[in-house]
Structure 1
Amino acid sequence: MSVWDGIVGQQAVTRQLQAITTGDPKAIAQSWLICGPPGSGRSNVARAFAAALESPDHGLSDEPTNVTRQILSGTHPDVTTLATNKVTIGIDDVRELILTSEQMPSTAPWRIIIIEDVDRMLERTTNVLLKEIEEPSPHTIWMLCAPSAQDVLPTIRSRTRIVNLAVPSTQAVTDFLMTTVNPRQPEAKQFSRNVAARAARLAEGHIGIAKLYATESQVMSDRDELIVGLLGLRKASDAVLLADGLIDTAKSQAEADVNEQAERAEAEFRRINGLGERDRIPPKLRGAYNAIAKKDELKRQATRRSRDVLDRALNSAASVYRDIAVLQNNAEDAVGIINLENRTAIAELSARMSRQAVVDRLEHIALARRRLFGNGNPMLVFEALFCSLIP
């Protein structure tokens, strides 16, 4: 299949980019800003675009070329991706990218630099990048990814060609889960179309979260418990207990995720170096081995993953009040309900709350998100939030 077939729910954008990659190379813009809400697949679009630009077949062959496979797997020498597990992208990382961007490509037509989550750059770091974006090296293409054009500085925005992604439909995400994710699962972990459809609905167009819900039943169950807890809030003690349970869940999910990632990295290191599972690491490889298992780095990753879980909880909480607003405005037939399994409780709450009270609670959730990503204490943030949500 072509490199574009793996992009979910972005037919208009893929047609636009495909036309560019098969057109006049001299007409290709060298600085791009790919925008889309979390989970819309902006990083995947950037990688597919890079593969289509670099591969001799423009990524259109049913059988991917070696160039395409290397780019999609992150191993091509002329395509560099900066992804971060930190809260912000560091200035040293960007300076290193700039040095890379000034080198001639080794085997492909372009040297391509992809920066995921460019909105995580502080202004000082962005200013370092600005000159390169404005005047790229002749054989370099920059692809920056952000939730929206408004999330980056106007100076960057004005110097890039902007591509806006849509929120993938529930149907498109469901089809992706069934045709792409499910076949790769071990037989014991394969899921039904009903599970895929529910995961897509609850993820609200976020492809990564939909995949997580479909493949990890415990994560789906944790979300169910959170929604029931939110709908059952009656007093402050309920809020405190719900916050405590959520923080514990976030911590355990993050630690399990990071530990699994570390185990995969260790297994790959052993495989590459011809070592068995129980073989001792030779002294000459000890430094490289320790580099993939840095405790400080794993701790930072766990903190970041924990924040991701909590951010997902905020989205789930917002979906409850979104559903209430839908019922209050008689819009269910037009836009549907996200939390269908809890419709009765949501309908009861919608009858008890005013429209302004719903808006106020959505603002409370937005405030909690700002506090959380401003390094507020997660326990205090969620205790305060859940208390403010009590009817």
Structure 2
Amino acid sequence: MSVWDGLTGQADAVAALRAAAEAPEGSGSMTHSWLITGPPGSGRSNVALAFAAALVGDGPDDDRALMQVTARTHPDVAVLSTQRVIITIDEIRSLVTGSHYAPSVGRHRVVIVEDADRMTERTSNLLLKALEEPPERTVWILCAPSEADLIPTIRSRVRSVRLRVPDVASVADLIVARTGVDRTLAVDAARQAQSHIGMAQRLATSAEARDRRRRTLETVLAVRSVGDAVVAAADLLAVADEDAKAITQEKDAEERDAALRSLGVEPGGTVPPALRGQLRGLEEDQKRRATRSLRDGLDRILVDVMSLYRDLLLLGLGAPVEPVNASMQADLDRALASVPPASALEVLDAVALARDRIAANVAALLALEALMVTIARAVR
């Protein structure tokens, strides 16, 4: 099995990274800093991990290196996956310090920063210094949605590799191979997730996730008045909260149990006062993760709403394109009578504005209410 297996729809990116990893030293194909860009769900982190495994392993077929890198246990690979809304300067400072150590078992020391677009300017400038004077055998791999999400001085010091949005069939094939679900279900999930691999897998394997998504779209289609808009906004926020809890609660419980075991506390036992500070730190991290998970859940809801009005726009214009929400064709046909193309465009603009507002820390309920009111006014 090659470290590059399982990277769906990214043949060009894999070819470039593979050539760099396998090139002789001094050939010029390899550089000390890389930027992997692509839309959410395109597999940026997976590509970065595969590249890291190729750099620290004994070749593209080194399964052991890939397993260690994927499990975050390889001694020469550091991965920053922040649970916060932003990456803190202390997190980057720790990575920079570690980047100066020589590799212990591999050819390179690799440092991966997922969601590098979450760095503030001050944090970015600290990383910039590390990229300007890198240790000889250290390789930095940054991941972000686009080059524009990083400051220009960092962009000028990295080699960019752009990922594509994989097609629905490729994502469905990957989900079937990973989970064994029915292919029809996998295709529907991949289409509804708009080829977002992680979300598609979740929709294919979780009936609750599929039900929450359908409830979201039905709630939006039912909005006819300002009163409906206010109620719908509260309902969507509740759905996002429910979805976020479904993702984080199980992981939180596992982390707490593991922490208690490492501290020598029996399940259900009382935590000694001297150890409560360590658990408090874990709980604070979990709260930050819950905040980010809720924000991500809200954005997923807005992307789903955007897909709904994109379908109505294209159907209203008679475009020969299969709807993202083909499983709701009857609902779409009924909605066409009250949502002409001009109204669909107006709602799409409002959804984009709501996403920007939530990203800028506007109260989520207010942003959703404004969006729902726009939808109520746009419906004929």
Q: TM-score, normalization: structure 1? A: 0.89
Structure 1's unaligned 5+ residue stretches are: 183-190
Cα gap change, 1:295 to 1:272, in 2 (>3 Å)? closer
Cα deviation, residue 13, structure 1:
1.5
Match of 1:355 in 2: 341
Aligned AA (1:6): G
Aligned AA (1:194): T
Structure 2's unaligned 5+ residue stretches are: none
Assess if the C-alpha contact under 8 Å between 2:131 and 2:157 holds in 1.
yes
Match of 1:342 in 2: 328
Tell me, in whole angstroms, the C-alpha distance in 2 between the residues paired with 1:289 and 1:86.
Answer: 19
Match of 2:83 in 1: 85
Aligned AA (1:204): Q
Match of 1:44 in 2: 46
Q: Which moved more, 1:281-290 or 1:197-206?
A: 281-290
Match of 1:278 in 2: 267
Assess if the C-alpha contact under 8 Å between 1:89 and 1:122 holds in 2.
yes
Cα gap change, 1:30 to 1:223, in 2 (>3 Å)? same
Q: Which moved more, 1:322-331 or 1:264-273?
A: 264-273
Tell me, in whole angstroms, the C-alpha distance in 2 between the residues paired with 1:272 and 1:19.
Answer: 43
Matched, 1:172 2:170: yes
Helix, strand or coil: the match of 2:86? coil
Match of 1:55 in 2: 57
Tell me, in whole angstroms, the C-alpha distance in 2 between the residues paired with 1:214 and 1:344.
Answer: 22
CA-to-aligned-CA distance 1:242-279 (integer Å, 9 cap, x gap)? 21112112222222322200222244456778x79737
Cα deviation, residue 152, structure 1:
1.3
Cα deviation, residue 344, structure 1:
3.4
CA-to-aligned-CA distance 1:365-386 (integer Å, 9 cap, x gap)? 1110111111111111111111
Aligned AA (2:6): G
Aligned AA (2:315): L
Matched, 1:115 2:103: no
After TM superposition, the structure 1 = structure 2 runs for residues 119-268 of structure 1, keeping only pairs within 5 Å, are 119-182=117-180, 191-268=181-258
After TM superposition, the structure 1 = structure 2 runs for residues 307-318 of structure 1, keeping only pairs within 5 Å, are 307-318=295-306
Helix, strand or coil: the match of 1:2? coil
CA-to-aligned-CA distance 1:314-352 (integer Å, 9 cap, x gap)? 0001001211222233323xx421011222332444454
Cα gap change, 1:86 to 1:282, in 2 (>3 Å)? closer
Assess if the C-alpha contact under 8 Å between 1:267 and 1:277 holds in 2.
no
Alignment coverage as a number of residue pairs: 375
Matched, 1:4 2:8: no
Match of 1:319 in 2: 307
Assess if the C-alpha contact under 8 Å between 1:31 and 1:143 holds in 2.
yes
Cα gap change, 1:321 to 1:256, in 2 (>3 Å)? closer
Match of 2:363 in 1: 377
Match of 1:290 in 2: 279
CA-to-aligned-CA distance 1:268-301 (integer Å, 9 cap, x gap)? 456778x79737488699469626x732222221
Match of 1:330 in 2: 318
Cα gap change, 1:344 to 1:279, in 2 (>3 Å)? closer
Tell me, in whole angstroms, the C-alpha distance in 1 between the residues paired with 2:54 and 2:276.
Answer: 37
% identical equivalent positions: 38
Cα gap change, 1:143 to 1:229, in 2 (>3 Å)? same
2:36 maps to which of 28, 34, 49: 34
Aligned AA (2:15): R
Q: TM-score, normalization: structure 2? A: 0.92
Cα deviation, residue 33, structure 1:
0.5
Cα gap change, 1:177 to 1:288, in 2 (>3 Å)? farther
Tell me, in whole angstroms, the C-alpha distance in 2 between the residues paired with 1:266 and 1:170.
Answer: 38
CA RMSD after TM alignment: 2.3
Assess if the C-alpha contact under 8 Å between 2:80 and 2:114 holds in 1.
yes
Matched, 1:96 2:86: no
Tell me, in whole angstroms, the C-alpha distance in 2 between the residues paired with 1:233 and 1:279.
Answer: 47
Cα gap change, 1:349 to 1:256, in 2 (>3 Å)? closer
Match of 1:13 in 2: 13
